[in-house]
Structures are given as C-alpha cells and as structure tokens.
Structure 1
C-alpha cells in the first residue's frame, strides 16, 4: 500500500531545517504506527511538490532515514518503510478515569512555585521590539569558531573523553584554561582542587547556599537583588536580611551584627549596575575577617566592563580564604550554555563536589570540551573584545536617547554592563506600562521580582530595566518592587 503525500505537513514556525523537519515527520509517522512496515513512501517528487520544497531536500531526508533503518530503498521501485524499523512498545492501559485522584495540595511537602517569576511570552522573539533581559545578540557571537570547536570536541580523538563518565571530576582541559585564562583576568590564583564546574551561576549559588546555610544561620543579600538568589535562600529556611544598596553597591556598615554569609555582586550589581569601589571591598573583607562570616562573590558581568578596566575581584583581595567566587559564561558567550564555576578553598569545593554528584555527576562532557577549545584557541578573548567595542557604541546611543526623552538614570553603570536602572515618574505603574507597551510590539519585563515580596500592599508599582539596544531596537523596561515610592520610581533598561 502506498502512503499518500498528503499524510505529511510542515509547520511554518519550526526553527529546524527542512530536511530535519521531513525526517522527523516520517519518523513520528512510523513510530506512531501510521506508516506500517512494507508500505511505500511517496516519491521524492510528489512529496516535494506537496510540501513546497526542493526535491533534493526530500531525497537527502530519505537517504538519512535509510541509513538509520527507518526506510529501505528498492531500486527503481522507490522507498519503503523498513521491516526492521524501530517501533514504540504498546500497552493496554486502563481508562484514565479509573485512576485515583491525588490531592496534590496536601501531598506536596515543599512549594517552589510561589516566588515572583520574570514572565515572558514564549514568542518573545516575534515582537517588533523584544527587550528581554539576559538574552544574547546572536549577531555578536562567533558561530563559525564555536561550531569548529564543537566538531573538534566530537572528533575521534576526544570521543573517549566525551563518552566516559567523569563521576565527580570535571574536564581537566576546561579547568586548566579557567586557571590560566579566566581567573588571571580577575587577579585570582587557584589550584585545580579549588575549582568546580557548575551548570551556570544559579547552580553554583544553590550549591553554596545548601552547604553554608541552615535554619539557624543568617544570610545577608542586596536589595534589590537577583530574584533567583532570594528563592534559593528561601528554600534553606535561613534568616535572610535584605540590605539596601547605594550608588557604590552593598554598604558593609549596614550589615547586621549577627551574620554567617553575605551574597554580593560587586563588579556589576544586579540590577543597578553599581560597581563596588576597592576601598569598600577592603572594608567588607576586613569585616568578614573580624566577624568570621563568609562572602559569596557573584562576579556578575565582569567581562562587560568596557568603559573602564574592571576592579580586582573580592576573591583576589582576600587574605583569609573567606570568599567563595562564582563565575559564569552566560553573558560572555550565551545564556543557553549553562556553564559556570565555583572557586573556593579546597574543603568547601570537596563538599560542593559531593553535593553536585547527588544531583548530577558533572555538566555534559561535550559542552565542557567545546568551551575548553573555544578558550584555548583564543576565540573567547576575541569575543570579549568585540562585545566591548559594540556595547560601548550602543551604550552611547542609549544614553543619548534617554537624555533626549527626559528619562532619569538611577544606576550609574560607570564601568559598563548590559542594562540601565532607571527612575520612572511617581505616578507610573511599570507593570501596567509593560502590558500597554505590548500592544505596540514593545516587550519589557516586570522587575518587582528584584525586591522582597511585600506582605501587605498589593502588586502595584515597580521599576523597569532597559537593555543596551540592538541595531534598530528602542529601549525597554523591566519593573521592580512594589510598595514604597522609592521602589515605584525605579526601572531598569537592558539590550
């Protein structure tokens, strides 16, 4: 029996290649049982005409399916579904209505979904002006050399490295180049035993909080701060104290007397972009040495110091080993990479490695080795330099636009960074503003998640973030807190 070409349809919004889409359509039809072993496939000409694609595209897809034993080619007779094609197991499942209904409201022991998320539409890329915080501009990334590094990583020479389970270890090549090329940028020296690779900075912060904090301990965080950190700390059930930042970041003199851990973003405070001066860093380190608390340094966006040379990391100034350093490649490469690292004293890294192994053995070997090649071959340094030049130009355009439109910048961002922290009019409700702007194709993010959740006042005002603009894009907002007038007048701009 011949399978009609009309069996298959392409989705217009699919991001994969036409060849891959056709392969997937046929594979799904075979696995679902709609196309049975021995049945004849539509000719490449008929399927190409029906789908509106080139005939060679269908032929290549068919050839790939033959190599994977989904199809067989019978000379001039055409292509047929293979008798040995993979199939899904079939089960005689009971009617869903017969299943016991679980009262999940009572069954769930801990809740993780009650924080204020940074919500964005799934189709945010389709907006005319999608100003979304934390996303990369694909035009700035070195796709060619990253692809070459990925191909090198999957080559025969490295296959044993990729296929082997490292257990608790990390790719030694990546660790070596972090030691030799990344940490020296921050004036940090370390040994391999003092580094742990993580699935991004948030994973590193979670590991750190789990090890350092209990219900009886106190952690200080910046206000406003990265929303994910606040949620991480809430799950440890520690006593969390929010300390308001100023134009120079976290003020050490405002920290509580009783304290176990301080979380800070001194290079570029998230979200205001304030940079902590060296004198304040030294006061914070002195305070930590005298009072015996640990500092967790999230070195957020240190690579994006394109206006001035970055200040030395807290970790590099630490004489006592009280600083745990968190780094990430999310901003310098791309967010979807999800690759970061922890640098700390060996006893802490030993515990962090053991904790990580309970959740995942190690980040994927392919990702680690690809990043290692990208670093070692000099592509990373070239990427940072290129981003710095372009971001400097975009920042100048943004500052001029803000000034011409009478908008007030609150966060200084004197070292660079990827965003602006703005002040909105007292009467502005940034959440409502964000929804209104969507109607004009402008997508901005509500920023109240950067602040602690108000216990009494309803969700009302907040402040936005504007990213540095892409060519042809205007600025956008992200809203912040609610409650106080001070919070209601701030906003953050990214790009």
Structure 2
C-alpha cells in the first residue's frame, strides 16, 4: 500500500532547510511505525507539488534517505521504505505514573529554594526593549568564522577529539590556547597542570566551593560581597557553610571589613574584582594588594571570579588578583560564556596543581570533561584570532551603547547606583526608596520592556527592593532612549 501524499505536512516557520525537514518527516514516520517496510513513497514530483517545493529538493532528500537505508530505490518503480530501516521498539501505550513519593523531602527542598534568582523570560528576543544581562547579540557575533571552526573540528583529522573519551583530561589544544592567549593578558603565568575546564563559570564556582569549604560541618566561613552574583549565593546556600555578606563600596569589597573576626584561618573570600557583580565597581590595585596581604596574615583563601574583564573599554584592564598572588592563595575562575556566547557553557579554573588535581577528581564524578567538539572549536576560534576580533567588535559596540544609555538616563532623571569606570555591559540603578522594582518589572514586561529587579542580588536578611540592573548587551542603540523613557514613566507611576 502506497503512503498517501497527504501524510506529509510542512509547518510554517520550521527549523532547518527544506531538505532536512522532509528527511525528518520521513524518518519520524518510519520510526513511529506509521510508515511500514515495503510501503511505496509518494513520487518526488507528487510530494514536491503537495509541499510547494522544488522537485530537486525532494529528490535530494530521498537520495539522502536511501544512503541511510531508510528508503530503497527500485529502478523505475520509485522509492520504498527499506526492509532494513531502523525501527523503534514497540511497547503498549505508556501510562504516566502517579507521584506517590515526595522527592523534595529527600533534600529538604534546599535545592529548589536556592533557585530563586533573577527572572528572565525564555522568549526575551521578542521583547522590543530587552535590558537584560548576558545574552548574545546576533548582530555582533562572528557566525561565519565560528561555523568554519566548528566544521574544521568535525573533520576527519579531528575525529578522535570528537569521539574519544578523554577520561578526566581536557583537550590539550584548548588548554594551550588558554595558557597562551587568555591568561597572559590577565598577567597570569600557569602550566597545563594548573588549569581545569568546566561547564561554565557556575560549574567552576560550584567545584571550587565544594573543595575550599569542605564538607558540611567543616566550620569554614564563606565571605561574599553584598550585593553579589545570585548564582554564587545559590552555590553557597547548599554548601552548608556559614555565609557572611559584606557590603561593597565604590572599590568593591573593602579589605577593612575583613578585620577582627570577620574572616578566620581556613575561610574563603569570594570576590569579583574586575567588575563587581552587579555594581560594576573595579577593585583598585592598592586594595588588591591589601587583600592578598590580609590573606597571608589571616591564612584564608580567595576565589576570584574574573567577571567581565574582557569588557574594560573605558580604561586599560587592571591586572587580575591571581597575577599578583605570590603564595598560591588565589583560585581563579573564568568563562567564555559572556565573551563568545552563554549557551556554550565553557569556563575554566586556574589554581595550584594540588587544587586542580582535587577539582579534576570532583569534576569526574559529575562529568568527565566538556564535549570534545566544543573544546576543539573554541581552540580553533582562539588560535585563528577570531576571538580577539570578536572582543574588539563587542567593546566598540558596547562603548556606543553605554554612551547612548548614559545620556538617556540623564535626560529622564533616573539614578545610577553603580556604573563602574572601566566599562562592562550594564548599569546598576537605584529607584526612589519606596519603589518595588519587582512590581515595576512586571508592569514594564506588559509594555515590552525587560529589566532585572535587584532584590535577588542582596543578602536575603537585608534585601533591598528599589535597585535594578539595566544591561545594554542585547539591545540596539536606537531603541535605548524610548525604552529608558518607558522605565522612567513606570517608576514615576
């Protein structure tokens, strides 16, 4: 029995080429059991006319399916579902079980409670005024060269990298680029045994916290900035460690706040000295040296999250805290998520060999290593200079957007709480004290404007409701003034 042409339908707006979508329709029909071995397919001319595509598109799709043994060609008779086509196992229609176990009770709900953070809609791209942080602007990204590097990494020469299990090791090509390209511009000298790749900065922070703070009950204290990156607080909330949040000023974390019993031997201080998250303050060199001196005198360790160091376009970038460390007290965390794109989820830790050995062993309990293809693609992207060109393009664009936003903010009479003097990709804002920016954000979303309420950045015991963050990484300059005007009106209401 022939398969009727009406069994095929191309939905509007589907992803992929027409040829790949036709292939997907056929394979889905075969794997689901709707198309049976030996059934005749519609003619290429008939299917093309039904779908409104060219005949050659259908012919190419059919030819591809023949090479994959989904279809077979019988001379002048046409195409048939192959007798050797892959088949899905046949089971009775499954029934969803009732949930009789309270799995949140197993963990006390501590993980879901810790997930409270900045709310961002998944479909942020459809909003006309997305002042949200950390998303990629397609107009700035180097699609062509990234695709070329990805295709090169998929080639026959790199097949072992793509397919092999490297166990606990990382791609030496990417490690070499991190050592030669990334770390030297932060003033950091390191060897391969001092670097570990991670699945983004969040994964790096989790690994570091698990090692440095020890098991629950170890008695170590985590000292963090207030306000700070919400993801860092989530990691620490579930670690079982005592958390001390210290208020930042225009230079980041004040070293004077670590006096007395604020920090003790074996404690860990978590800092973002390049661009403090979310205030964008850059820690002065003198304060960095004082922090390192305090670490030696009080015998504590520092976790440096080198957040947004690439986006220092107003002044030359400051040396990393790690580059000034002579005693191995600084563990350094970096990421490609903001400089290339967040969906890649690739970061790295830099520390003494003893720390990296522990981190590698811990990582192996969750994942052996980040995907080999991603590692090799990034290695090529760095080696061929595309990464530096991308960073320069982003800096130029962000400088322009920052200027437009700063002028719009001044024109509308809004208050900047922290903008940083080195660059970055956002402004830290302050509304009048009585304003709940969470309510403002909900009202603005209905008008097509996205902002980030600031409450989740603060210590929960001292939550502040009138701050918010405005990022310019994902919005075109021409849209900024109108969006800022809408924000000002909403806060005024």
TM-score by length of structure 2 reads 0.91
For the pair 1:387 / 2:394, whether they are aligned, the reply is yes
Q: Which residue of 2 aligns with 1:114?
A: 113
Q: Identify the match of residue 274 of structure 2 among 267, 281, 293.
A: 267
Cα RMSD over matched residues? 2.2
Alignment of 1:275-286 (within 5 A): 275-286=282-293
Stretch of structure 1 that moved more, 164-173 or 15-24: 15-24
Q: Which residue of 1 aligns with 2:308?
A: 301
For the pair 1:234 / 2:241, whether they are aligned, the reply is no
2:94 and 2:109 map into 1 onto residues whose CA distance is: 31
Q: Secondary structure at the match of 1:240?
A: strand
Q: Secondary structure at the match of 2:460?
A: coil
2:454 and 2:16 map into 1 onto residues whose CA distance is: 33
Stretch of structure 1 that moved more, 99-108 or 322-331: 99-108
1:406 to partner: Cα distance: 1.3
Q: Which residue of 1 aligns with 2:256?
A: 253
Q: Secondary structure at the match of 2:418?
A: coil
Stretch of structure 1 that moved more, 352-361 or 10-19: 10-19
- Is the 8 Å Cα contact of residues 247 and 412 (structure 1) preserved in structure 2? no
2:461 and 2:5 map into 1 onto residues whose CA distance is: 59
Show CA shifts across 1:417-455 (max 9, x none): 011111212332212222222222223333322123349
Q: Secondary structure at the match of 2:394?
A: helix
1:62 to partner: Cα distance: 2.1
Q: Secondary structure at the match of 2:349?
A: strand
For the pair 1:463 / 2:468, whether they are aligned, the reply is yes
For the pair 1:89 / 2:89, whether they are aligned, the reply is yes
1:372 to partner: Cα distance: 0.8
Stretch of structure 1 that moved more, 173-182 or 60-69: 60-69
Q: Identify the match of residue 426 of structure 2 among 401, 414, 419.
A: 419
Report the count of equivalent residues: 475
- Is the 8 Å Cα contact of residues 72 and 80 (structure 1) preserved in structure 2? yes
Stretch of structure 1 that moved more, 389-398 or 8-17: 8-17
Alignment of 1:16-415 (within 5 A): 16-92=16-92, 96=96, 101-108=100-107, 111-115=110-114, 116-213=116-213, 214=215, 215=217, 216-255=219-258, 256-258=262-264, 260-415=267-422
Show CA shifts across 1:384-441 (max 9, x none): 1221122111211111111111112111321010111112123322122222222222
Change (3 A) 1:474 1:16: farther
Stretch of structure 1 that moved more, 354-363 or 106-115: 106-115
- Is the 8 Å Cα contact of residues 404 and 480 (structure 2) preserved in structure 1? no
Q: Secondary structure at the match of 2:304?
A: strand
2:20 and 2:445 map into 1 onto residues whose CA distance is: 33
Change (3 A) 1:432 1:31: same
For the pair 1:3 / 2:9, whether they are aligned, the reply is no
Q: Secondary structure at the match of 1:145?
A: helix
Change (3 A) 1:419 1:39: same
Q: Secondary structure at the match of 1:312?
A: coil
Change (3 A) 1:306 1:325: same
Q: Which residue of 2 aligns with 1:481?
A: none
- Is the 8 Å Cα contact of residues 430 and 464 (structure 1) preserved in structure 2? no
2:318 and 2:10 map into 1 onto residues whose CA distance is: 52
1:191 to partner: Cα distance: 0.9
1:53 to partner: Cα distance: 3.3
2:448 and 2:99 map into 1 onto residues whose CA distance is: 46
Change (3 A) 1:44 1:220: same
1:462 to partner: Cα distance: 4.8
TM-score by length of structure 1 reads 0.90
Stretch of structure 1 that moved more, 100-109 or 388-397: 100-109
1:6 and 1:169 map into 2 onto residues whose CA distance is: 52
Q: Which residue of 2 aligns with 1:474?
A: 480
Change (3 A) 1:140 1:451: same
Query: Higher RCO, 1 or 2 (CA under 8 Å, sep at least 6)?
Result: 2
Change (3 A) 1:460 1:201: closer
1:109 to partner: Cα distance: 5.3
1:189 and 1:47 map into 2 onto residues whose CA distance is: 62
Change (3 A) 1:94 1:46: closer
1:10 to partner: Cα distance: 3.0
Change (3 A) 1:211 1:243: same
2:263 and 2:94 map into 1 onto residues whose CA distance is: 61
Change (3 A) 1:4 1:195: same
2:328 and 2:106 map into 1 onto residues whose CA distance is: 43
2:68 and 2:130 map into 1 onto residues whose CA distance is: 40
1:301 and 1:104 map into 2 onto residues whose CA distance is: 38
- Is the 8 Å Cα contact of residues 127 and 448 (structure 2) preserved in structure 1? yes
Q: Which runs of 5+ in 2 are unaligned?
A: 485-490
1:444 and 1:44 map into 2 onto residues whose CA distance is: 51
- Is the 8 Å Cα contact of residues 201 and 333 (structure 2) preserved in structure 1? yes
- Is the 8 Å Cα contact of residues 421 and 465 (structure 1) preserved in structure 2? yes
Change (3 A) 1:447 1:68: farther
Show CA shifts across 1:37-58 (max 9, x none): 1112223333334334333333
